[in-house]
Chain A
Amino acid sequence: MKSYDETVNSVFEKIEEYNQNKIRRNKLVLKTVVPACCACLVLVATVLALGGEKPKTPIDTSTSSQKIYTGALVLGEMDGNQEGYGKGEALTGDPDGYVFPEGTSFPEGSSVSESTSETSTPQNEYIPYRPKIYLNQITQKAGAAKLHFGEDKYYSEEKNLEDLKEYFGKDFSKIDFIKDLLPNEFEFSDGVATKFYYEKSGKLVYDTAAFIYYKDEQSIRIFASKIGAPYDCIYKTEDDKTTKINGVDVLIGFEPTDDMKFGFVFAEFSHNGVNFRITMENVIAPIYFDAPDMMYKFVYNIIERPLQ
């Protein structure tokens, strides 16, 4: 039988032992759980970085606030708020969300008004989540050598819109969302048709098609080709930084003019085996003000939207 002192000593020894074990356990937990958590975070971050683009969502006009630009263009709110414009924020002249290569800057803006008009946008319009847009300023334009297809070696075939639709898998002449995005009535150029060139052996060597929308001096052009670059004019930029749009690398460039902000904006990308160049030219303010933004929407819709 222990004396009181022995019992007291024994009790305090056991308490001390318990506390030491507890510290050891905590250290062990820190050693194993913390690295495990870090590994999980890295994994999650990797997964998000590789495939974390936000899915497209049709606009819910019952809840979305509408923004009106001078000129009565109605745009739905942008979906997502991680980068660039936040959800529900107005598309203002704030250059946040645009990334300019060194030595270039955001063109001076014109006034943009904002309202909460009840004017609705089409239910089926796809408004993408917009990440940072890298804007590359054009420093030089270079004309590529015009291809010559001599009749001795090549023959050509005229393609109509039906042929092009079948060839590219989409009908770019009926892109109704363009009208949703523009302030004025842009018309599809009726006379568009293109020639495909073949070698005598039957091998296709030239398949560039151009789909043009215009309104007076303003134009939006979609160039497409499966087998080569869909253009004969090269735009050299300071820094060819691309913007990821729904997983597709898109090169977006611009050329500012004195009076028209973004005088010229182009985007080049490849999707589903088709090489694209989209150009926006002479589009008047205030649309011009957010031309890169609109370019993003065009590209997004071309990539994602099921066309007729």
Chain B
Amino acid sequence: MDNGASSYRRFREDGDQNGLIEIIREYRDGLIFYLNGFVNNINTAEELAEETFVILGTKKPRDKGKGSFKTWLYTIGRNRALNYLKKNSRVVEVSVFECAELQADEETLEESYIKEEKKILLHRAISKLKPEYRQVLWLTYFEDFSNKQTAAVMKKSVHNIETLVYRARKALKNQLKLEGFEYEEL
């Protein structure tokens, strides 16, 4: 699969539903984690990810081919998340039970998507940083996006992303230190 572009083309132009199913299977979890960086609620992030796939299925937007399909998909997801935040600017309170459930969901997803123990710990430390740092670190460390791709998704300049990555890594190191971890790659 070439980053999902050919699957999407099959779905969009030939009406092959398997194309969309392949995209959902390939990108759902990563997208949820990325969107969770915005809304900090794994269930809401899941809904937003689902909405992103629904947009692909209904509006069938055309991938302009400026970057990879994944970059484009994450950009659509990001716009959905920002719209959601604009409409739901009030802080949503959740019960203790709900909170525990959300945490359990996130842990399940971490285990299936991130797999490596070290990376799971890293992700948990990242989730305690501010939203902008969470997003940029997720894209660069977990999705292996280049600075250029990250800049495209986050609609910032490459220079801004470089600065942001530098500051986010510094903040993450401090966070890990606070929790008693050292991560060599940082």
Contact = CB atoms under 8 A, between A and B. Distances in A.
A10 B50 contact: yes
A11 B50 contact: yes
Interface in A3-34: 4, 7-8, 10-12, 14-15, 18-19
B21 interface: yes
Kindly list the 7 A-B residue pairs having the minimum CB-CB distance in the complex, ordered from nearest. Answer: A15-B57, A1-B105, A18-B58, A14-B54, A11-B53, A8-B21, A8-B24
A18 B56 CA distance: 12
B146 interface: no
Given A11-B50, A15-B54, A1 B24 contact: no
Contacts of B43: 1
B28 A4 contact: yes
Interface residues on B, range: 10 to 19
Interface in B47-66: 50, 53-54, 57-58
Contacts of B54: 11, 14-15, 18
B28 A7 contact: yes
Contacts of B108: 1
Contacts of A11: 20, 24, 50, 53-54, 57
B161 to A, nearest CB: 30
B42 A1 contact: yes
Interface string B16-53: 01001100110010000000000000110010001001
A141 interface: no
B114 interface: no
A2 interface: yes
A15 B25 contact: no
B58 A19 contact: yes
A8 B26 CA distance: 12
Contacts of B105: 1
A219 B24 CA distance: 93
A11 B22 CA distance: 13
B175 to A, nearest CB: 25
Nearest to B42: A1
23 contacts: A1-B43, A1-B46, A1-B109, A4-B24, A4-B25, A4-B28, A7-B28, A7-B46, A7-B50, A8-B21, A8-B24, A11-B50, A11-B54, A12-B20, A12-B57, A14-B50, A14-B54, A14-B58, A15-B54, A15-B58, A18-B54, A18-B58, A19-B58
Contacts of B42: 1
Given A4-B24, A18-B54, 15 more contacts: A1-B42, A1-B46, A2-B46, A4-B25, A7-B46, A8-B21, A8-B24, A8-B25, A10-B50, A11-B20, A11-B24, A14-B54, A14-B58, A15-B54, A15-B57
